[in-house]
Amino acid sequence: MRATKSRAGLVLLAAVALGVTAAAVPAAAADYERVLNGTFSGGTLDPWWAGAGTTGRVAGGEFCTDVPGGTANGYDALAGQNGVPFEAGQPYTLTFDAHATSTQQISAVAGEAVSPYRQISRTDLTVTPSTQHFTVTFSSTLDFPAAGNGQLAFWFGGQAAANTVCLDNISLVGGVVPPGGLPPTSGIRVNQESYVPGLPKRATLISDSTSPLTWTLKNAAGSAVATGRTTPRGADAASGENVHEIDFSAYDTAGTGYTLSVGSETSFPFAISADALQKLRQDSLAFFYHQRSGIAIDAVYVGAAYARPAGHVNVAPNQGDDNVPCRSDLNCGYTLDVRGGWYDAGDHGKYVVNGGIAAWELLDEYERALRLGDASALGDGKLAIPERANGVPDILDEARWEVDFLLEMQVPDGKPQAGMVHHKIHDAQWTSLPTRPDQDSQPRRLSPPSTAATLNMAAVAAQASRLWRTIDPAYSAKLLAAAEKAYTAAKANPNVLADPNDGTGGGTYSDNTVSDEFYWAAAELFTTTGKSGYRADVTGSALYRGKSFTTHGFDWASTGALGDITLAVVPTDLPATDVAAIRTAVTTTADSHLAQMASMGYPAPYRTADGSYEWGSNGLVANNGVVLALAYDFTKQDKYRGGAFAAMDYLLGRNPANYSYVSGHGDQPVTNVHHRFWAHQLDASLPTAPPGALSGGPNSGLQDPTAARLLAGCAPQRCFVDDIQAYSVNEVAINWNSALAWLAGWTAEKSSSTVDTTAPTAPGTPVVSAVSSGGATLTWTAAADPESGVKSYDVVRVTGSARTVLATVTGPTASLTGLSPSTAYTVVVVARNGAGLASPDSPAAQFTTQPATPAGGCQVTYAANTWNGGFTATATLKNTGTTAWTNWKLGFTFPGNQKVTQGWSATWAQSGADVTAAAMPWNGSVAPGQSVAIGFNGSYTGTNPNPSAFTVDGRACA
């Protein structure tokens, strides 16, 4: 949960033809206020913005804008507010106070914020150094709903000299539709993804009836397969609705397309399946690869829509993360290379205390499966990530991307506070929506070290050390050394707290209590090392024996329970009675959740003292689902398993908002999460959220302007809107997704499987590319298998009646190697599902490998990620000869009008269409069989075809 959040991005009203001018106000005008924060009394501009080239600020309780001189048009310098609702035919009265350093004309403009920029009203006014009160009246000619594309703007441009214009007491009154609130609801809320055979299956009906009603379960063909009577629940405080419960647990026939109906109400379709949650397990973990900093996100793993260049690797316009200084007021005297890690949320910050719990949950998901469950689904080759074939479980590979970043944040030896860990690194100022990571031009800054961050690193590094002990002993030792150094530094600096006011450009993540972090770190270090000093710190803590478990739940600021989970799962020499006490604390907390859920119309393991819902409530629901899951692990009592699955039901659609809060899962999933790259709502060329991202969820605080505008008066569980600007309810974050991933992994494991007798469908026709003398790349349309899911693909060479498997992969692409030169191949692809059943053959594809490359030969693989007017290209040069290269030089010719704008890992030059890239001192030596990767950013107009031929040192390459 974030302590301070980012401002939404700016969408500006551009030049338009003059529209309707001020008109008289009919007598029937309503008194609804349509703008937010018109008095600026809180000292903030939100949701007002200042346009490009201007600087806006709150000064003396007014919104003052510094306006440049020499602009040609009024709209060349402007300020305003987006999402303002207007209703066609309705009257409005705009009032405001204004003054300026020098007398000038301004324009008050109501209209549309995006193309075609239609105008409702424009009124030209003269402001002077003396404050004046202005009143403008007009009737709207357009309809814009709340949080739509309506805009109120003030134009300041078209003046010869620079000036400062200040506005205050801005009010826009009118219209007949009441502001805020959600419309009345009806219908049936279900888990939109899947219910599991053999487990409880419940749904919620909204109805004022005090008598039971008849429900019907229908299959995909519309035939009734079960019926029963609802149980009236009456008024439900969390949702503000009158509800009934539908219990259809007795029906267990697997299938898809089921619906529930009561009278005229029908639910979204859903499945009954033992295996539908398997994909959610993978997607929730795939989220973290998408969030990686410091590496290009490759279309091979995520698809073309989600591919992007590496962010913050010191390639312009990035200022990069390889030499980040401390904040200017700190004077720490060093820079750190903090490339890598995960972007925390919808912004580009990286925060140790949130990265700590997120990495811990991924590591714990694996460790718990090793100790208490089945870790086979978390092994190598299970995730679509670059490390998927390195012999290490993929979930550990993904966690390592963050763990290594946490180590990078440690203060170097010989510096003040050596061994402590910097709290965070992020931009000097908030970036706007949308901003892809590689396009972030803000300076990057380290915030001071904190005790909380230091203990987070110590805990996670100690945990990771024991998991890597047999995988990579050297890395394990490195982790443990860093963890022990950090713990020692934290004990020497026990009360260095993060500044709650350090919220410019990134969240504060301030935490005034660190006794829980001390307990967590000591528990991890003791479990890993068995040392008596750490044991004493654990048993001597006031939090020992499960005192951290509460019905509110654990999160980034409350981490004591993490230490207890480790002590309850991983064997140590602690007294058995003490371990039993920790496990009892887990089951006692779980019982409290179940008791509360039994009284809820939309059961969720979530509780606050006043019944409100907090920022990131869905993350707490998932973490409390973890507690219910562990209670089942410890006792094998079905009630706890049912509670954990009920938490998943809530997240996947059985909630008052009627959304699946997980993108890509369910019939009405969130799509417009607050994110600077998954920003399709603001830029149609950008994607929506990929499958598996968990929205923060309902938040009674309405701590952003869009939520405040749309959700005034909402009941706690209904304080949600799927809007990219509503960051306090719809942002994503690594700690929320790590909780979802843990729970999704557990529920997938605990879904009782049925026998699958249906083979997958045939894959699509393979498309062949990158053919060389010894290899080729094949891609194909994925097969489908709704029962057990497609687990692997065999690429099979067919020669008459003979069949030879050339490769086995987990996704719809394969890079073949070891082929014979100058040889014709006919290949098909066969899919296999989780039950081991094979699909029919795909249609065949034919290709012929190239002739053998002579000694001293080369091979070049070129790939481009293209967007509108620009692209990022990578070239991999492989020495296929028998002698080493000592100072290579690549050459190729662009087939179009492409230009290299900036390159890396080589000295790039271009003359006309001809491009050369010469080796750097550190990568000029390439042994036979080895490769070197280089790349560049480029521009183009028209199309961007790839070069067709390459040379290395003047020799043509495959």
Q: Helix/strand/coil (H, E, C) string of 512-578?
A: CCCHHHHHHHHHHHHHHHCCHHHHHHHHCCCCCCCCCCCCCCCECCECHHHHHHHHHHCCCCCCHHH
Distances (CA, A) of 446 to 41, 355, 426, 559, 886: 31, 15, 7, 24, 39
Polymer length of the chain? 958
Cα 545 versus chain centre, distance: 34
| The Cα angle at residue 545 between residues 542 and 546, in degrees rounded to 5 | 95
Instruction: Please choose, from the candidates 653, 469, 454, the residue with its C-alpha nearest in 3D space to the C-alpha of residue 570.
Output: 469
Cis ω before 317 (30° cut-off from 0) = yes
Q: How far apart are CA 740 and CA 743, in angstroms?
A: 5
CB 407 within 8 A of CB 461: yes
What's the sign of the alpha-carbon dihedral 276, 281, 282, 284? Answer: positive
DSSP designation for 97: E
Sign of CA dihedral 180, 186, 192, 198: positive
- Cβ atoms of 641 and 243 within 8 Å: the answer is no
Q: Which runs of E-coded beta strand occur in 432-494?
A: 444-446, 449-450
- Residues noted as catalytic: 347, 674, 722, 731
DSSP string across 280-339 = HHHHHHHHHHHTBSSS-B-HHHH-GGG-BPPSSSS-TT---SSSEEBPTTT--S-EE---
Place of tokens 């417009």: 672
Q: What share of the chain is helix, strand, coil (3-state, %, to 5)?
A: 25, 25, 50
Bridge partners of 164, per DSSP, are: 66
Helix (H, G, I), strand (E, B) or coil at 199: coil
Among candidates 132, 101, 147, 111, which has minimal Cα distance to 21?
A: 111
**Nearest residue to 62 (alpha-carbon basis) of 37, 25, 35:** 37
Rounded CA separation 48/38 (Å): 9
Q: Over the range 38-77, which residues count as b (16 or more CB within 10 Å of their CB) and which as e?
A: bebeeeebbbbbbbeebebebeeebbbbbbbeebeebbbb
